Amino acid sequence: MERRELLTGMAIGAAGIAATATPTAQAKSSNSIELSAQKTYPGVEGKMLVNKPRAYAVLEQFNLDGVIVLNPINVYYFTNTTPTMTKFRSDIGGLATFARDPKQPSFLISSNPQAWDIVNGDREVPELITYSGALNWENPTPEQRKIEPKAMTSGYTVRKGVKLTEREQRWADAQAKYNSTAVAGPAWAIVKALKASGLTKGRIGVDDMRIKYLLDEIGFEGITIVPAENIIRYIRMVKSEPEVALMRVAGFNNGIATMNTIKAIEKGMRFDDIERRFRAECAALGSEMTSFLAGVTIGLFPDGEAVPGKAFLIDAVSHFRQYHGDFSRTVCIGEPPKDVIARAKANKVGRDAVAEAIKPGVKFSELTKIGFDAQVKAGMPREILIVSPHTLGLEHGDSPFRIEGPYSKPADHVLEENMILTVDLPYIEVGWGAGHNEDLIRVTKTGFEYFNTLSEPLEIV
């Protein structure tokens, strides 16, 4: 009990550093939580996100010499960059390579203009390989496809005879450098990266099998390509120092935005009204909504609107710099009936029991059993309960699934320091309503810390 109280105090104090902007005028009402603005995160700003020691260990564990990634969140993870063409929803916006050998370089692969972003110098990035387009390359034969074509070298105009600013000069220099070394397309850029990092042979993991198609199209052989989406999740599951800092902000922002939204709920509000408020609260704090549920999970409000005296859940997910927070509570408008209060109390018993158990070495299955049994013992009907631990990060579910066999099934992970997770504790009964409690948690060496301000599972508005 003492540890929970200590952690609660830490969480409340940490909330003061969570926001990146002052709340909106709408959020400044008397029922909102206000925070001072903070826009920097000392010690981690601009550092590479990838957990390199874990990446090397996991790649060795799965006998991979390196990885090539195309999924935008993995490109961001390995390069600290979301390429401009990814933001434009291009089919192939950018790629990254990562070698298991720490002595070998890793690469960001993107279009030529990305060089301007890289040389701005606002963060750490790996080496850059750029591609443009191919000159005089139409309807080639299969044999001609194996011959690397010349690359286009067009660029932006640089005015002559004027003194450029320091940043403009970096842009001009970068354009000259990368235009002269660009390759004709992403496939040839991958080959260039593999050659430069000693990965022209061996086993290479990919998070998208289109990478194999790109290399097959130009006849590149010598490597064995292995599907590695879940292997990469094994790397991402334990966070680096910069990731922990970003997730702390993501978690507190998400919890604050959710609580401000809950406190604004009134009788007769429809789902769209409440979701719109949550989206605005997230934006005021520098985050973006990912997912929002209000009512009876995905089914939303049974009556089409919020009704006094009926329990419903709020399950809110948002992201800050692509890292996610997740927070849920039970809500009741007006005086709650006795059964709503009783179930919320049992829900809190389950939450507290799970909290007491969280530390390195504990399995997900143990948390599930502890949360389930504690709530049933406290009077919750077992048939309405769901208990589901899951990690978070660049995905809402950062936990890898089992990699053997054609059917995905969650693996029974063991908690490690700097895993960040929630334990979903919803209870749902059609014809009655729904409730929920979920908090973002970082596993520490000896226990855990909350990444949102702790509050009662039941919110009465």
DSSP string covering 27-88: GGSTTS---------TTTTT---S-HHHHHHHHHHTT-SEEEE-SHHHHHHHHS---HHHHT
Domain 2-42+238-460 class, CATH top level: alpha beta
For residue 385, what are the CA distances in angstroms to 295, 343, 378, 439, 458?
A: 16, 11, 12, 17, 16
CA angle at 60 for the pair 55 and 64, rounded to the nearest 5°: 90
What pLDDT is attached to residue 158?
Answer: 93
What pLDDT is attached to residue 149?
Answer: 84
Residue identified by tokens 């496809």 is 145
For residue 294, which phi and psi values (nearest 5 degrees)? -145, 125
**Cβ 11 vs Cβ 450: under 8 Å:** yes
For residue 205, what are the CA distances in angstroms to 89, 137, 230?
A: 24, 30, 10
What pLDDT is attached to residue 69?
Answer: 98
What pLDDT is attached to residue 239?
Answer: 97
What pLDDT is attached to residue 244?
Answer: 96
HSE-CB of 353 using CA atoms within 13 angstroms: 21
What pLDDT is attached to residue 267?
Answer: 97
The domain defined by 52-236 folds into: Creatine Amidinohydrolase; Chain A, domain 1 (3.40.350)
**Cβ 111 vs Cβ 84: under 8 Å:** yes
What residues have CB less than 8 Å from 273, skipping those under 6 apart? none
pLDDT (tens, 9 = 90+) of the chain, 461 residues, equals 333 333 333 333 333 333 333 333 233 333 333 443 345 554 578 899 999 999 999 999 999 999 999 999 999 999 999 998 888 888 899 999 999 999 999 999 999 889 999 898 889 999 999 999 888 777 777 777 888 888 888 888 999 999 999 999 999 999 999 988 999 999 999 999 999 999 999 999 999 999 999 999 999 999 999 999 999 999 999 999 999 999 999 999 999 999 999 999 999 999 999 999 999 999 999 999 999 999 998 889 999 999 999 999 999 999 999 999 999 999 999 999 999 999 999 999 999 999 999 999 999 999 999 999 999 999 999 999 999 999 999 999 888 876 666 677 778 999 999 999 999 999 999 999 999 999 999 999 999 999 999 999 999 99
What pLDDT is attached to residue 36?
Answer: 35
**Cβ 218 vs Cβ 286: under 8 Å:** no
From edge to edge, which strands make up the β-sheet containing 127-131? 127-131, 107-111, 95-99, 66-69, 202-206, 223-227
CA angle at 428 for the pair 423 and 429, rounded to the nearest 5°: 165
Distance CA 132, CA 151 (A): 6
For residue 73, what are the CA distances in angstroms to 34, 82, 214, 324, 414?
A: 31, 8, 20, 12, 24
Distance CA 302, CA 193 (A): 55
**If we measure between CA atoms, which residue out of 199, 196, 206, 52 comes closest to residue 124?**
52
- The CATH 3.40.350.10 domain(s) of the chain lie at 52-236
Residue identified by tokens 């003194």 is 163
- The CATH 3.90.230.10 domain(s) of the chain lie at 2-42+238-460
**Cβ 109 vs Cβ 96: under 8 Å:** yes
3-state DSSP assignment of residue 381:
coil
Amino acid at 264: A
Q: Tell me how crowded residue 293 is: count the other CB atoms within 10 A of its CB.
A: 22
For residue 87, what are the CA distances in angstroms to 93, 96, 139, 216?
A: 8, 16, 30, 27
**If we measure between CA atoms, which residue out of 295, 289, 294 comes closest to residue 317?**
289
For residue 434, which phi and psi values (nearest 5 degrees)? -160, 155
Rg (CA), the chain: 25
